[in-house]
Amino acid sequence: MINLSLGANIVLNQGVINIKINSGLPVDASAFRLFANDKVKDDLDMIFYGQPKNQDASIIWQQTHNNNHEFRVDLTKLSAEVQKIAFTITCDQYSPISQLKNLSIQLDCNNEVIALGEVDINNRQEKALIMGEIYRRNTEWKFRFIAQGFNGGLKPLAEHFGVNVIDEPTPPVPTSTVNNTTTSSSVNLNKISLSKDRTSVSLSKRNDYGKIGINLNWNKQEQPTKKGFLSEFFNRSPNIDLDLAAFVRLKDQSIHVIQALGNCFGSFQSPCYVELMGDDRTGANQDGEWIYINGSHWNNIDEVLIYTFIYEGLPNWSQADGVVRIHVPDQPVIETFLTDGNNSNILCAIARLKNDNGAINVERINRYFRSQRELDYAYGWGFRWSAGRK
């Protein structure tokens, strides 16, 4: 094994290299695939927790235990245009790398360590660091230990690689618009939209996720704004009533339904740590409906499946124009639009939040069903259902 000093380089003779980044504390790690002028072409060139693999599977990200990250790079699969792959880390928004326990980048091949670069983190003010790069040199691939970065964190780092960042630094998010001619791409760091072509987002591991909020909102229908006190007794309006609901499975394998139907509102403070806050019958409430997950108890939760269903009114999804937003503290909002549903189905499974070794893995589902029973069956939860009315 070679201990690399700063700036040192080695020739890579192997086709498949595993790059391991060890930090002792949670950091975000990303690989940037770089073309001419050391810039990315588009958002497929960033490999990280939100996009663990690129289209040719030449670079694959995985998080290993103890806050470590690993990138598997298959040099033989890289296209001829690729000049470099830069491996980077970004710290928590507010702390420089000097706050980490340690920081190193290690190259493995066939389970053997071939090189190690250890960063002297003392007094280092950078919040984002280029750990090292794999690059072409004549006909060879080489690796260089760099350990240089940016005090400003992700934003200047991303810009360094030709990613035009619009918003304040949050984890890199692959929702950029691509402009190949200028080799600069634009990334909105504010919000992750889970769409059909992007179905899974993993939020990096931490111990306490705080209060995770899931919000359902939909367009209120045209109706008189002043309602008589008697209207509550005549709640047979033709307006759409969308309900937000969840299946919860705890680590002890107990399963729970959270929904207004049957008055199963759950509890935030005690098991199952998921609570539905009230019931908005009309969509008139500007804030819509909320389910809160107690992220301080995420370690007790195995899975939360979020769904919404049309309790009353015509099953017309596009008219309801619903949107579900998942808010995890300090993380970009994840949003799903409920506009492409089949109107013969009254229920839409939105997403599931799975406990993935302590991390929250958010998987978009966006599948429509005729009933809770059908949803239950599709995902194998095993509830016993009977008809109810709230």
Partner 1 sequence: MGVSLSKGGNVSLSKTDPGMKNVLIGLGWDVRATDGQDYDLDASVFLLADNGKVRSDSDFIFYNNLRSADGSVEHTGDNRTGEGEGDDESIKIKLDKIPADVAKLVFVVTIHDATVRKQSFGQVTGAFIRLVNDDSQIEVARYDLTEDASTETAMLFGELYRHNGEWKFRAVGQGYAGGLASVCQQYGINAS
Q: Nearer Cβ to partner 1, position 2 or 178?
A: 2
Q: Nearer Cβ to partner 1, position 147 or 187?
A: 147
Cα–Cα distance, 46 to 157 (Å, whole number): 12
Q: Is 273 left (phi over 0), alpha (psi -120 to 50) or beta?
A: left
In the complex, least distance from residue 101 CB atom to partner 1, rounded to whole angstroms = 21
Q: Nearer Cβ to partner 1, position 152 or 388?
A: 152
**Measuring CA to CA, which residue among 162, 134, 6, 164 is closest to residue 59?**
134
In the complex, least distance from residue 150 CB atom to partner 1, rounded to whole angstroms = 5
Q: Nearer Cβ to partner 1, position 144 or 220?
A: 144
Q: Nearer Cβ to partner 1, position 13 or 125?
A: 125
Which two three-digit tokens encode residue 50? 């939100």
In the complex, least distance from residue 97 CB atom to partner 1, rounded to whole angstroms = 11
In the complex, least distance from residue 126 CB atom to partner 1, rounded to whole angstroms = 6
Cα–Cα distance, 131 to 141 (Å, whole number): 17
DSSP class of residue 239 equals S
Cα–Cα distance, 251 to 253 (Å, whole number): 5
How many residues sit in the footprint of partner 1 (CB under 8 A)?
20
Question: Could you tell me if 324 and 306 are in contact, meaning their C-beta atoms sit under 8 angstroms apart?
Answer: yes
Q: Nearer Cβ to partner 1, position 126 or 303?
A: 126
Question: Could you tell me if 243 and 347 are in contact, meaning their C-beta atoms sit under 8 angstroms apart?
Answer: no
In the complex, least distance from residue 37 CB atom to partner 1, rounded to whole angstroms = 12
Direct distance between the N- and C-terminal alpha carbons of the chain, in angstroms, rounded to an integer: 67
In the complex, least distance from residue 264 CB atom to partner 1, rounded to whole angstroms = 53
Cα–Cα distance, 73 to 266 (Å, whole number): 45
Q: Nearer Cβ to partner 1, position 154 or 203?
A: 154
List CB contacts of 333: < 8 A, sequence separation 6 or more. 190, 191, 192, 325, 326, 327
In the complex, least distance from residue 7 CB atom to partner 1, rounded to whole angstroms = 2
H helix runs in the chain, sequence order: 154-160, 317-320, 372-379
Q: Which of 1, 3, 7, 57 binds partner 1 (CB under 8 A)?
A: 7
User: Site mask, partner 1, residues 35-74, x = CB under 8 A?
Assistant: ----------------------------------------
In the complex, least distance from residue 24 CB atom to partner 1, rounded to whole angstroms = 22
Q: Nearer Cβ to partner 1, position 144 or 206?
A: 144
Q: Nearer Cβ to partner 1, position 86 or 291?
A: 86
In the complex, least distance from residue 142 CB atom to partner 1, rounded to whole angstroms = 8
Strands 301-312 and 289-294: unpaired
160 near partner 1, judged by CB under 8 A = yes
Which two three-digit tokens encode residue 87? 């491996």
Strands 140-150 and 9-12: antiparallel
Q: Point out which span in 5-13, 61-69, 103-111, 173-181 binds partner 1 (CB under 8 A).
A: 5-13
The residue with tokens 């245009």 is 81
Cα–Cα distance, 367 to 351 (Å, whole number): 9
Residues 101-140 touching partner 1, rule: CB under 8 A, are: 120, 125-126, 130, 137
Q: Nearer Cβ to partner 1, position 6 or 57?
A: 6
Q: Point out which span in 6-14, 26-34, 66-74, 87-95 binds partner 1 (CB under 8 A).
A: 6-14
In the complex, least distance from residue 163 CB atom to partner 1, rounded to whole angstroms = 14
Residues 137-156 touching partner 1, rule: CB under 8 A, are: 137, 144-146, 148-152, 156
What is the CB-side half-sphere exposure of residue 68 using CA atoms within 13 A? Answer: 15
Q: Footprint of partner 1 on this chain (CB under 8 A)? A: 5-9, 120, 125-126, 130, 137, 144-146, 148-152, 156, 160
